[in-house]
Each structure stands twice: as C-alpha cells, then as structure tokens.
Structure 1
Amino acid sequence: MRQHARVVIIGGGAMGVSLLYHLSKRGWSDVTLVEKHELTAGSTWHAAGLCTHFAHNATIMAMRAHSVRLYRETLTAETGLPTGFHPSGALRITRSKDRMDEFRHVQGLGRFVGHDFHILSPRELQDIYPLCVTKGIIGAIFEPNDGHVDPTLATNAMAVGARSRGAEIIRHNQVLAIERKASGEWLVRTAQGDIVAEHVVNAAGTWCREIGTMMGLDLPVVPMLHQYVVTDTVSEIADRIAAGAKELPIIRDPEESWYLRQERDGYIVGPYEKSAQPWAVDGVPPAFGMELLPPDLDRVEHIIALAMERVPALANAGIKTVVNGPITFTPDANPLIGPAFGLGNAWLLTGSSMGVMEGGGAGSFLADWIVGGAPPSDALAIDPRRFGNYADRDYRIDKAVEGFGLQFGIHFPNEEREAGRPRRTTPALDMQKDQGAVLGAAYGWERPNWFAAGGGDRHVPLTFRRPGWFNAVRDECLAVRDGVGVIDLSAFSKFEITGACAGAFMASLGANRPPARQGRIGLVHALTSKGGVASEFTVTRLGDEAFYLTSAAVAERHDEDLLRVRAAAFADVTIENVTEKRGVLAIMGPRARDLLETVSEVDLSNPAFPWLSAQIIRIAGIKAAALRVSYAGELGWELHVQLVQVGNLYDALTRAGRRFDLRPFGIYALNAMRLEKGYRAWGADLTTERTPLEAGLDTLVKTEGRAFVGREAMLARVGDGAWKMVLLEIDDDGQQLPFYAHSVMQADRPVGIVTSGAHGFRIGKTVALAYLRPGISADGLTVSILGKEFPARELPEPPYDPGNLRVRGLGAGEPVALTPA
C-alpha cells in the first residue's frame, strides 16, 4: 500500500470506485481507494441496478445519463468486461393529472438537456407493455434509453479501468482514524498502515456517518431499509422469451409506490412504503458488511398486491428471494457531492439513495470538481453545504422517513415538505402567523411565502399551473406598489469582515470593486476559477477595514467556506458568521419613508439618506443598520437588527403602519417584483455555469487594473461562445405559470432554458429570465411549458420603472399600463 497519495477515497461502492476510475482517466493516477470489506459491500451489491434519465434537475439528469453511457458502452469498450447493462427502457404510469404535468415538465427539461422522453396514451402504453392493465391510467412517460445494470459487474469493471491507469485499491483495510496534519495534508490511519494524502474523500455509503465523525463532520444521512422481491419464473415472461420478444421495460407506478423490472424469466418488484424504517441511526454494527436484514413483507405486502393488480402476471409467481438492506437518505433525498464544510481538500461522495443509478456520473462530476477546482455544472442540488447545523439527529430522521415515503412523490414547484420543521425561527413568527402567513423553509429558517389575508384559506393545493395563492400574491404586490409593505428577510446569510487587510481582501473578492466610501453599498460576485458565478454578496462598507456582507439563505455554509478559503491569503482578516445573531425586516413601497419617519428621528430624505447607502439609526428605539436597498424595485430600506429584537421591531412597525395600510408580504411577491425589474437571483439565474457577463451584469464587472479569481476565464467566454441571459415576456393562456427549467424553443429546437419566471402583477404581464445558447438571436422564440408552446419576446429593458425613479425615490416613475391578471 502506498504511504503517500494525491487522493485517498474511503469506500468501495459504485460511487467511490467511479471517482477512482474518473480521476485516473483525468491523469491523476496517484490515487488510492481503501475498503473495509469487499468492493460493493454495504448497499451497492444488493441494489436493484435501475438506471434512469428521469430527474427534475438538469445536473442530476446529466449525471444519471453519464452513468447510463458508462455502463452501456464505455466500460466494456475500455476494459473488455461486461457490466450486465440491459437497455430495456422504462415506463412511469399515472392516474393523476398533476403527475402528467410533472411528466411534461421533465420531458421539457430533457428536451433542453438532450434526452428524449415520450408521453404515451393508455393505448400506446399497452403496446409497449402488454402485460399491464391500463384501467384507470390516463397516461405514461417512456424513457427509451433507460435500463438496468449488474451493480457488481459495473463496479468491478470501473475498478479494472482505474487499476489499468495506476490507481490503487486496498480491500479489507478498515479506516481507523483521520487526522489533519500541520502541513494541511490528511493522515488516514488504516488497519494496514498510514497514508498521507492531499485530498480525502468520504465515499463510505452505509458507513459515511462514521467516517464523517472521524473527519469532524455530522453528516445529515440516515440508512433506511428497502425491500424488494425476486420472483421465480413467470410463465408469461418465459413465453415471451421463447417467442423472441424484447425484454419488458422497467415499469413504475408512482402513485402506488412500486417499481417492477424483468429479471431473466421472472420479476423484481420493489415497494416504497410510507411508514419507512430507519436503521442503525446511531452507528452501523461493526461486523456489518455484505449481510441482509430478515425479510419483513408485512410492511410492504399491500403495495405488492397493488402491483399484482396492475400486472396480473406477477401474481402467478412464487418468491425466490427477498432482499432487505440499507440505503442512505439525506433530508432531500439528493446525494452529498462536493466539499466538506470547513475542511480544506476534504470531499463527500455519499448519501445517495440511488448510488448505482447516480454513481457513474457522480464520480465523473466530483473528479472534474477536484481536478478543475470548480464544479462542471450547477452543483446547488447536490452540494453537501446545502444543509446547516440545524440538520440535527431528529431532523435527519424525520426528513429521511419523509423522503423515503415520497420517493415517488410529485415534485411540485414551490412545494414545502413539513417533516422536521420548524428548526430556525424569528421572534416575529407568531405575529406573522396571526396575519395569515403561509410559511416556507429556507436553510432551516421559517419565513412567510405569502399571506392569506382576512382569514383566507391557507391550504391551497399544489399545482404546476396557476396556484391558489395567485390573487393573494397579486394583492401583496399591488399594496407594495401603491403604499408600503413589510417582509421578513432574516433568513439571509450574514457575515462581518474586519481586520487590517479586510479592504485588500474585499478588493480581490469578486468581479466588482467593493464600496470605496464608508456607508455605501455595492453588489459583488465572487467567481469560480472557470469564471462562473460562485457567490453573490451585498456589501456594505462599515469603516476603513470593516464590511458587512449578506447573501442567499441557502448559501450560508457555501459562502462561509468561500470567504474563509480566499481570506487565508491575507495576513489579518477576521470573518464572523452573524447569521443567527441578526434579523432583517424590509420596508418597501412609495410610503416607506413616511412610515419610517414616524418611528425614527433620522432624516430619511434623498439628500440625507441616498439610494445604496447605509446608516446606523434607531427605529422605535431599536438600534438598526438601515440599508437603503430594495429587491422589489420600490423605495425601501432593509433594517438589520439583533435577532432577539426582530419581534419588537415587527410589532412597532405594524402598529405605526396602520395609518399607512402597511401590508405584510412574502417571498412569492418579492420574487414576482424582482423579475419585473429583471433582477437576477443567486442559485436560480446566477450559477457557476455562467459568467456575470453572460448573465447581463456588465455594469457590475470592473476588470481594469484588478486581479480576482476567474477574471481571465470570464473574459475568455466573451463573444461567439458566450451564452446570453434575456428577460422574456411570455404570452400565457391564463392557466400556466412559468417557474424554472422550461425549454426555450426556436424553429422547433431547444435554444435556451428558463431559470425563473412569474406573473408580474404591477405590469400585468408574465415574465421570465432565460439563458440562450451561443449565437442564438431572440427572434421567433417560444417557451415550452408543460408541453405547450407560448410566444415569447425579449424585453430590451425591465418593464417596470426602467429608469429606476421609484427605487431612487425620485417619483412614481413612468405610468404602467395594467391588464387584468
């Protein structure tokens, strides 16, 4: 065994071996994988091996597609070894109109990414799967390039490919401890000796929490028991084989929560019960390796009975084997792929409930990230730092049980799943509930999404179309346009940067210069090494060497990592995460100044308190950092106070606001208003995939005489090869509502992708931000929403107050011609 390696990977399942294979393909041959048992031990060896392209996120869809290509073609071509891949195709059937909308949405995303999904009628379903009873079915989606693989064969083929390029695999070698050396390298102590490595990767799957503890991490992962049944011979399948028929496609019934695939001349049927069973929550038994748990068919027999009704041939088969083993679940059922929070050169590649399906692509994704220094595509859905310290033991158990039970749940836009909540709250929450707040969760924070005013119904159905909160959000937007509104933005991530080198550090942080004068505010985008947008910070200069930064709620750990890593190059910079110490209330609307003047003695006029400036003032006797910024595009201030004072401040503003008809509003209204202004949102419109220049943020990019990470890479992506962000007006039909991941079409081909959309109630138009591929003009565009094409036109400037008169407090701006919503 090597004593030194560039990378040590801990865990020999599909994901860990895939990373080893892909690192070696990228020329990093000085890599070692250690496995405490045999390769595939834990969950890989007993996986059903299903492979799909179906996903609700472009990165995950691409990752799964890479797995399919790898198992179907690449590995055998390179190694000469079989992977056992069966290109059977796959079906998902439904009785639900909402599910059909979901199918059409995934089909639209697939069209942009380059994967074909076919929507089928019941008759077409019967033609493809003649053993299926179609009674009650209204449609299906067919994935022709899906299939299933032998997990052991595929993993061993990757291992052979890695070894052939110099990579090392050490089996039966338990990791005993992991330490950080003073040099920054990692010391991995194993049963067969110590290894010093530049990078360490936790790909331990079932044992990832134990390895995480050695690394100093508390991973939000829970092993969940999943059962599937392997049947004896099914006569109908045996007859098909004898007649030379093609293998039946995998079939899933998401409403009844089962999957069924042909296994030789029989079936594998896998149910996902709602009353899911966590296992080994506080530690996997030391001797556990390639064992299974005893069958417990009482838990799932009702689901199997439903599968038998849908595919009667299944009812004629005897049971050959029952597989009952652990698979890992994170709180949102997506894997943990990327940097480990707070640890340099430490990575996670684990937490996948679909490790074989995603493993091939996941290994490639992380290999690109480690070698290239930036993720190859938007990583927000899989970045381990999307969870914070609020994800404690109870939370991860509650969410894992919920996620397992909703393995086939419909992924509605704006869905808020309730398990594990609340976790982080502000003292204003009870008052907001009394006002009719309908809450969402952002990085553990409870915050109002919208308000059911006047005792309205808070429980509106989820939908892919115009939602039940549409009119309530319209009223909120118009109240902010015509008067004044208050919104709780306490979920923001918040950092203070101080020290003798703080100014120099901030000058190097991103594409824009930080504010030069005390009390001024600017927007700074930190870039990846490839020029993409890594983070977005609102920066307030508090002094010569003091800055206050806010960023997106979900970016808290991500941004803290970025700040600390980049500040390490400076001798005297202190970074303090003050997210849980500060709360934020924002007052927005043309009467914002009138309201605030009644609870403050400060001069809030334009000359005394101009746009994009900040002052420390007192509001109703409470000390606040008042920032004159407005994401809604109206006159407004953000009031940053001690979190414990948020309730008192909210109460004081509510009382004072009665004479001004102060209206509370939520995140949905803010999202609609920011889109009317063309304001970009980090994590949706701004990602690592696109530069700020491609995103249309030219005025926030200052390159002359400056050096910052990603500068040259950003500038290299100017011209013919650049994508372009456009603000589109969409002619909708009064039923649809754009949200994200809709293909933008031109001459019947996908030329772009919608990143966010909403109805603009102040302008009476539906708008969306979208990226167009390089070289695409904005002529003749349509947006495909749930399978229907809607004409779309590029707006040359924001349709609401393009001169920024309202946000500058210079008047009401140009009159807006409103049309009925």
Structure 2
Amino acid sequence: MTDAQVVIVGGGVMGVSLLYHLVKAGWRDVVLLEKNDLTHGSTWHAAGLCTHFAHNPTIQELRATSVRLYRDILPAQTGQECGFHACGAMRITRNPDRMDEFAHVAGLSAFTGYPLEILTPERVAELHPLAQIEGLLGGIFEPDDGHVDPTLATTAMAQVAVQGGGVIRRYSPVQAIRREAGKWLVETPKETFRACHIVNAAGTWGYEIGRMMGINVPSVPVLHQYLVTDTVPGVAERIVAGAPELPIIRDPEESWYVRQEREGLILGPYEKDAQVWSVDGVPPEFGADLMPPDLDRVEHIIEAAMARIPTLANGGVKSVINGPITFTPDANPLIGPAHGVEDAWLLTGSSMGVMEGGGAGWFLAHWMTHGAPPMDALAVDSRRFGRWADRDFRVAKAVECFGLQFGVHYPHEERPAGRGLRLSPLHDLMIARGAVMGAVHGWERPNWFSDTSGVVADETFRRANWFEPVARECLKVSEAAALSDLSVFSKFEVTGPDTREFLDSLGANRAPAEGRIGLTHALTPAGGVLSEFTVAMVNETFAYLTSAAAAEEIDYDVLRVHAQGFDVDLSNRTDDLAVIGLMGPKARQILETLTEADLQSEFPWLSVREIDVAGVPVRALRVSYVGELGWELHVPRAHAVHLFTALEEAGKPFGVGFYGAYAANAMRLEKGYRAWGSDLTTERTLTESGLGNLVHHAARDFTGGAAMLARQGDKAWDMVLLEVEAGAIDPFYSHPVFQGQRPVGIVTSGAYGPRTGKVLALAYLRDKTVRTGLALRILGQVRKANILDAAPYDPDNVRLKS
C-alpha cells in the first residue's frame, strides 16, 4: 500500500498540467497514474491550436493561461522550447450574425485585456495573402494565438513536476477504485495507492474511470479528422522569401480550420454529423492509436476550404489523423468537485484539451488548494449536469456540439438535442397555452408565450420575435395577475432539532424567524458567493430551501457538507414538488376565491404558511422575484394540474394571464434583483454585489465572512444598475463598460424593462470611484449609460407589501 496526498488518473495534457500546478503550489506525495505512456489517448494527435477567442471570461482565461505557460513559462523553466508558434489566428465570415458574434467577443476581450481586432475583407487579405476574400463580410484577428507541439508541452510540464517531487507511474492502468475509511484506494497491477484525493483526468477514459468512482461523467469520445499536406508551393515560396508564418485561419460557416505545418498545411474539418466512438467503454488495448481515414465524410468541407485557400489543392495529402477527442454536452470541460462524494475531483471532458489544458490544471489546483476556484466556475463546474444526463443525452449532445463546433453563440440560444428529459407536471398545460419552451438543467420551462402554435424563438443578437409577447406578459403581471410554472427550482428540506443552528451558520445572513422567509448566501473561503438560498422557516425544526435550477447539485453538496456535525436530515425534493407562481395586484383576490386562509393580516410579505387551496395542501410562500404582490405555491406533483387549472379558472374574471422566464428576467432587472450564476458568482462578494444588507456578521461565524470583509478596500469591485441609452440591440451579458477609452466594467445581465420603458443592465465596475461618463459597447455600438441610485420600478416596495 502506497500512501499519497493526491492520485491523478490520466497522463494527458490535463492530468500532467494538474500535477505540475499542484507541485508548484507546494503539494507533496502527488502521484499520476497513466495506463500507457504520457499523451496517449487524445493529446498526442491533437493539432495543438491555442486561442484567446471565447464567449466566457473563465474559458478565455484557461486558454490565455495555456498560451503563457507553453510560450513563456515552461521554456524558461526547462531551457527548451515547447514548439509554440506565435503566428496569430483569424476567423472569417460571410454571415452578418457572425460579425455580431465577433463584435461581442471583441468587447469582452477589451475588458479582460486580450484585445482582438475586427477585420475588413481587405485586412483579411493582408494578414493571410493565400486566402480569397470574395463574399466575405470580415473577420476577427487574435494576435496572440498560435499552436504548440502537444507532446513537447506535456513532457515539459512532467519534467518540472517530477523535479519538484511529483511522481508519474507509466503503464499503470487503474483496475479498481473504492472509498474506505475516509480515503480513496486506487488499484493498479503493481501497487495500490491510498489517497486523500482522487482526480479523474482520464480524458478518453473519463467515463469509465467515473464509473469506478461511482459518479456519472457525461462525456463521449468523438472521432475528429484532420489532414496534413505535402509541400504547398504557395507556403514554400513564402518561407524562401522570409515571410512570417501564416496565421491560423478558421471559417466557421464552412466548418474548417487551416494552419501552416512547415512547408505544408493542416486542414481540420468538423462535419455536422459527428461519429461517436466507444461510448460505453474504450477497447483495453487502445493507446496511441488512430482510426482509418474516412475522408468521404468531410469531402464537401475540404472542397470549401480549397475554394477559400486555392493553394491547398496543390499539396498532396501526406497523412490523415483520425482519432478520438472527448465532448461534454456543452463542449466545455468538466472541472471541479465530483457531486456527492468526498475528496473526488474531475478534470476531464475537454474537446480542446491542449488549448485549455495548461489553464485547466492551474484552475483546479487553485480550487483544491484554496477551497474555491480562482474565477467563476459555472461554465466548467463538473456539477452542472445531474443524473438526468444519461447515455442518450450525452451522445445526442456530443453529436450536436461537434456539429456546432463553429456554431454562432446567440445570447438566448436554445439547442434542440437532448430535450424533454425533466418535465414539470404542468408541461402539457404550458404547451397548450402557447408556451415556447427552453431548457435549464435538463428541465423544460416556459421562456415565453405565443398566440400562434408551433412558433420558435428567433436566433438573433437583436430584438427577437418574443420581444412584444414578453412585454405583454410583463404588463399583464403589473396590471392584473399572471401564472407561471416555476417547478424548475431546486428544492431542499432541512429537518431536525439543529435546524436553526444549521441555517444560522450556513451563510452570511441569519436564519429567519419562524413563519418567515429570508435570503441566505453561502460563501467560498475567499468570500465569494457560492450559493443563494431562499429559506422558508416553516417552524423551528423544519426549513424549506429553494435555489436556482442550475445549482441543484452544487447546492446539495453545500448543504450536505455543512450538515456534518449538526443533528439535521436533508432531503432533495426537486423532483417531488411543483411550483406555481401567481403574481400581480389581483393575485390576492384570485387566491381568496380558493382558500379560507387569511391572506391579508396573517400573511405579510416574506412569510410562509401551509394552507389549503382548491382542496389541495399547499406550502405558500409570499415572495416575488418580479416585484409584485404574489405567491409561490409549492405542491406535490400529483396535485399540480388540479391546482393550476383551479387558479386559472378563478383568475379569468380578473384577467389572469401567463408569464415565462424571459418576462421574469426583465421584471427582476426593473427591481435591480441580482441573479445567481450571472450577477452573483464565486468571484465577487456580497458587498461588491450590492447586497451588504444581507450580511449579518456580528457575533456570527460563517465560512468566508472574514475574507469578504477584508475585500472591501480600494480594490473591491462595485455592482451598479445602469439605465442604457435605447438602441436596436438590448444588452445581455459580457459587454464592456467604458469611461472614455478606458474599460472600467463588465455587464453581467441586461434586458428591456417593459413596465418602466427603460433599457437596463447590471454591471460590475472594477474601479468603484467611477460614476459618470459611462458607456456600454454593445456589439461595437457605443451606448451611454447612467447609474441608477434606486430600482426604477416600485423602489419603496409598495406593491410587494400591499
């Protein structure tokens, strides 16, 4: 038996990067197990592309960190280059929506400090003289991009890690994993390791190692081909002339990339109909192996690339690489704690392993070392998928993601694969009433309601076909009342004699009084916002907690870990209960026709009661995310349809309507309410988020409290609600905020508010002294913005408390 602090399973670029970064962070007794040799699986045959292009700042930082590591840090540490070619990269397009997307990413990058250049066709020709520009609208240039030798980069990290005390065991396949006496036992043919932590960095084998760990890893190997040409005359001539290496070029519409490889070129196509491979288990003998070429599948893409870069046709095919890469259901890697098990971590599932691997190892090493990620982790958190992400789902989404590798990322994108997994009992009723559904955490939920059956939402960066219907929904809520299916909420019950003590120490706020509702935020050790719970204190030994749909696994882990040492029982009721929202000034009148409960003096704002409505036992919460008088009615699934139809019938004389998630988002912004996952993240504290009123620190000890208070100095950020000059495009997220020519902030969410007639955005200012002369750059358009000192809708909460 060999003791270790950490066992990392997998010797690709991701696992070796983690070994390197843990050793650099001072960890000892870190062991990496590899079933074959380093880089076997996917890393060794990767094309090695490295980019700064990303729609999410965390993904961008993973990629930027990788570039710095391969280009600068590892050569300085080893005295040897990693084969990094700083050639730059560009993306070209003939699609107007793609130009909007490029402008959006360029705006984000202006804030993050990785500026990207929007290109005219003429500038494309200047940067890549071998490309034809006919039909192009333009493009985007990523000057610090390049490509790296995957084997050299991985080997360099391994060399530094071993010199620092890390251990690598090659040809040590993992045969069994089990949990025993608070430790992980990892068996190989030669020895068994007993470790405090285990990390699944197995890549192609990630799903199989996950099964050994007792967890679901929703990743699928997909075959990707690229071809390497012989000498291409146009490239060879440039080399003779002393011209710089050509930048990597991608055509998202035609779905290919091309980069220079010595005197030839590499062409990588992404076909729409992906070919999954070994979904249920990789052959035991597989290592540094490839599949036979299958160029017929991508012939049309090759022809399109040759039309754009004619000299490609002058170089014969030297070799074809056809090997597996892994895809998750959203094409982002799985990084972070494994749900439901102690001291188990994931670092796998990256379809861009070399591109993101250097940064991914840094990211997880920081998380393991400090108890919190260095940046907002939601885009990569391994718990963003639950048990519902079954085999059919992961295969369908992997195929979709591969085919949309170069798809336009719209702000309200709803992709069709893998739908219908989690249905509210009200689902069919919603469809019958015109709901246009979206998906969140496997659930189907109404985004908006249409008067025409079969309507789907426009895919656009501008105002879509749902703009007017959503405005009508908001006005219906403010003028009469409207019903909503809110069943997607995550729902938890806490029972037992220590319920109050448990909740009092859970987060920054105290537990509410019996019969009352409060908002509690659990924090990271660094003081960032980890979870947001609406806490309904039914009685002293029973509390009911709700949170965001996408937070279900994360929040249950938070509760489970915190419950250690308390005499409480936890239960996840998410699938058991339905939730109906009834919101608007006539909500009380409607509800009074169906219940004998006192809804006035005995039911104030922010209170919880268990009452009968239409003969159904209901846990009623007088709370509203939309800024109106209203109730959330929580009921067992079996009673949901009866209750909803009774409310609908009772509401007809009062003009009751329906509202969806898009209307809720617009209305909560009119109130300045922050949303978990977009406005509230692990990066920022409650005080930075403008929620200092929910912090009660005196005589209380809670995780992250001291760290949060310590971050209130000059370097603290400040969230503000902005009124934005109206224009053709409403803000959504990741638009930079400028003061003059200086980027000073970033938008986290935005929308048009129909009740106020204002365009609104929540944004963080990283210089909290900035208060005037602000403007947003929305897809390149400059729009003036002013800070609002109070919510523009019902700032005194008169309507909520009525």
Q: Does residue 792 of the first structure (1) align with residue 770 of the second (2)?
A: no
Residue type of the alignment partner of 2:594: V
What pairs up with 1:573-722 in 2 under 5 angstroms?
573-605=568-600, 607-722=601-716
1:757-797 deviation per Cα after TM superposition (whole angstroms, max 9, x unaligned): 00011000001111111443211111110011111010000
Residue aligning to 1:13? 12
- Aligned partner of 1:754 among 747, 756, 760: 747
Q: Give the whole-Å Cα distance in 1 for the aligned partners of 2:675 and 2:198.
A: 33
From 325, 342, 345, give the equivalent of 2:343.
Answer: 345
Q: What's the counterpart of residue 463 of structure 2?
A: 466
Q: What is the CA–CA distance in structure 2 between the aligned matches of 1:648 and 1:353, rounded to whole Å?
A: 46
SS in structure 1 of the partner of residue 296 of structure 2: helix
What amino acid does structure 2 have at the position aligned with 1:756?
S
Q: How many residues align?
A: 802
Q: Aligned with 1:752: secondary structure?
A: strand
2:325 corresponding residue in structure 1:
327
C-alpha deviation, 1:634, in angstroms: 0.2
Q: 1:123, 1:284 → 2: CA distance?
A: 47
State the match for 1:152 in structure 2.
151
- The aligned residue for residue 520 of structure 1 is 516
C-alpha displacement of 1:457 = 6.9
- In structure 1, which of residues 549, 554, 560 is the aligned counterpart of residue 556 of structure 2? 560
Q: Which residue of 1 aligns with 2:179?
A: 180
- 1:780 maps to amino acid: G
1:485 Cα shift?
A: 0.6
Distance 2:454 2:97 in 1: 21
State the alpha-carbon separation in 2 of the partners of residues 754 and 528 from structure 1: 23
| Amino acid in structure 2 at the alignment position of 1:508 | S
Distance in 2 between residues matched to 1:504 and 1:672, nearest whole Å: 36
Q: Please tell me whether residue 778 in structure 1 is matched to residue 798 in structure 2.
A: no
Q: Deviations over 1:72-113 (max 9, x none)?
A: 110000111221000010010001110000000000001111
Give the corresponding residue for 1:220: 218
Aligned 1:489-508 pairs, distance under 5 A:
489-508=486-505
2:434 maps to 1:440 = no
Measured after TM superposition, the shift of residue 192 of structure 1 is 1.8
Query: What amino acid is the match of 1:790?
Result: R
- Distance in 1 between the 2:259 and 2:640 partners? 55
8 Å contact kept, 1:731–1:791: yes
Post-superposition CA distance 1:126-170 (Å, at most 9, x none): 011111111110010000000000000000000011111111111
Q: TM-score with structure 1 length normalisation? A: 0.97
Describe the SS at the equivalent of 2:798.
coil
The whole-number CA distance in structure 1 between the counterparts of 2:30 and 2:511 is: 41
Q: CA deviation at 1:528?
A: 0.4
Q: What is aligned with 1:807?
A: 800
| 1:33-54, Cα deviation, whole Å (9 max, x unpaired) | 1101000000000000000000
The CA deviation at 1:747 is 2.1
| Partner Cα separation in structure 2 for residue 167 and residue 191 of structure 1 | 21
Q: Would you say the 8 A contact 1:426–1:646 is kept in 2?
A: no
What does residue 278 of structure 2 align with?
280
For residues 221 and 425 of structure 1, the distance between their equivalents in structure 2, rounded to whole angstroms, comes to 23
Shift of 1:500: 1.9
Instruction: Please give the residue correspondences for 1:721-760 in structure 2 after superposition, counting only pairs within 5 Å.
Output: 721-733=715-727, 735-760=728-753
Structure 2 counterpart of 1:268, one-letter code? I
Q: Equivalent residue for 2:51?
A: 52
1: distance between equivalents of 2:785 and 2:453? 34
Q: TM-score, normalised by structure 2?
A: 0.99
Amino acid at match of 2:73: T
Structure 2 unaligned runs (5+)? Answer: none
**SS of residue matched to 1:274:** coil
Q: Deviation string for 1:310-340 (max 9, x for gaps)? A: 0000011101101000000000010000000
Supply the AA of the counterpart residue of 1:475.
R
Distance 2:106 2:667 in 1: 29
d(CA) in 1 for partners of 2:79 and 2:186?
A: 34
Distance in 2 between the 1:64 and 1:340 partners? 23
CA distance in structure 2 between the partners assigned to 1:108 and 1:386 by the alignment? 27
Aligned to 1:161: 160
Q: Give the match for residue 249 of structure 1.
A: 247
What percentage of aligned pairs have identical amino acids? 61
| 8 Å contact from structure 1 (residues 426, 647) kept in 2 | no
The letter for the 2-side match of 1:660 is: F
Is this contact kept in 1: 2:436–2:457, CA < 8 A?
no
**Would you identify which runs of 4 or more consecutive aligned residues in structure 1 move more than 3 Å?**
none
Number of the residue aligned with 1:65: 64
* Contact 2:722–2:762 (CA under 8 A) maintained in structure 1: yes
Q: Deviations over 1:651-706 (max 9, x none)?
A: 11122221111111100000000000000000010000011111111111100000
CA offsets 1:551-610 (integer angstroms, 9 cap, x no match): 00000000001110111132x1111000000010000000000111112222211x1210
Tell me whether 1:36 sits opposite 2:24 in the alignment. Answer: no
Amino acid at match of 1:576: S
How far does the alpha carbon of each residue in 1:376-414 deviate from its partner, in whole angstroms, 9 at most, with x for none? Answer: 110000001000111001011101000100000001011
Question: Offset of 1:456 from its aligned partner?
Answer: 6.6
Question: How far is the alpha carbon of 1:545 from its aligned partner?
Answer: 1.5
Distance 1:499 1:293 in 2: 57
